[in-house]
Amino acid sequence: MSGNRHAVHSTDSALLKEYLDFLRNHRGLAKATIGIRAGFVAPFLEALNLRKTQEGVGGIVACHVHDYVIKTAKPMARPSRKHLVSSLRSFLRFCHVRGYTDRNLVDAVPVIRTHKLDRVPRAISWESVQKLLATPDRTTHEGRREYAILRLLATYGVRIGQVTTLKLQDIDWHERLIRFSASKKGQDLCLPLTHDVAEALLAYIGETRGKAPFPEVFLTVRGTPRPLGENNHLHGPIARYYRQAGIDSATKGSHAIRHAFATRLMEQEVPLKTIADLLGHKSITSTAIYTKVDLE
């Protein structure tokens, strides 16, 4: 999550634990979303220096909330600002419904204006993508796995979570198709299995993964093989390949590859609707940011 400086948080507060249990058991939110909520609510409670109990939270007043959001949001990136205000509104609504605050303080959370097209996509050049693909040592287990992952990212422009959760049943070798589950309420993708991707997957599966009894394609390579953790997006290994390839980029992650994929299609004059479909965007509005890289 870009810009969230509070990724590490404590849930030793009885109030915070009750809130997170509410999100899990009554709202049915995903584990990752609950983690995001906790990552923004915990520092909020710390900053107000209140007793983090059902009684103590009654001391929150509107100006506390407003001032905290204005100060905290200032250095944050757009996605983190959105998570900050939505998390605090969710928490304050919970406190009011449970009777821990006399007033509903949701409206005290100020609107932080964010503009979807206020920045240029953080892409790397297509030449840099090719350098990344050439970096993993494909004679090692780790290198074979990460080359296959990078090849999928570069070939299809999918998100890293769609790759790390890919299942063996999603690869149709006979029909030469590969399926990626929807991400961020987008659309499922069914795409041609290219020769380069098939070759990378076969090398990894045949020489590294083997017949481990899991549905996931990509597993850990150290110790007993097991599926990658839900939030394991391989930031460390991918950033290391950026450094080894000599790629000077403000962001050293998988999303820059996705942006490079979309930017390349834009430069090739592929219609915006086609790009939106390939990226799995539900709305073409989400794809419109790539028009900003078309200098012509």
Query: 9 an active-site residue?
Result: no
Whether 182 and 130 have beta carbons less than 8 Å apart is answered as no
Q: Extract the tokens encoding 134.
A: 């050439």
Residues in the chain: 296
Query: 71 an active-site residue?
Result: no
Q: Give the DSSP letter of residue 45.
A: H
Q: Extract the tokens encoding 49.
A: 């220096």
Q: Extract the tokens encoding 185.
A: 């309420």
DSSP states of 208-266 = IITT-S-SBS-B-SSSS--BPPTT---HHHHHHHHHHTT---S--SHHHHHHHHHHHHH
Q: State the catalytic residue, choosing from 159, 233, 252, 259.
A: 159
Counting DSSP H helices and E strands in the chain, the numbers are 11, 3
Say which amino acid occupies 133.
L
Query: 281 an active-site residue?
Result: yes
Query: 83 an active-site residue?
Result: no
Distances in Å between the Cα of 137 and the Cα atoms of 108, 126, 142, 148 are 53, 20, 8, 11
List, edge to edge, every strand of the sheet that includes 177-180.
171-172, 177-180, 189-192
| Burial tier of 92 (Cβ tally within 10 Å: 0-12, 13-18, 19+) | buried
Q: Extract the tokens encoding 198.
A: 């098939």
Q: State the catalytic residue, choosing from 89, 96, 131, 255.
A: 255
Distances in Å between the Cα of 227 and the Cα atoms of 166, 182, 207, 220 are 10, 19, 17, 6
Q: Extract the tokens encoding 277.
A: 């479909």
Q: State the catalytic residue, choosing from 184, 243, 273, 282.
A: 184
Query: 264 an active-site residue?
Result: no
Q: Coil, strand, or helix at residue 14?
A: helix
Query: 211 an active-site residue?
Result: no
Q: State the catalytic residue, choosing from 52, 258, 259, 264.
A: 258
Active-site residues: which are they?
Answer: 159, 184, 255, 258, 281, 290
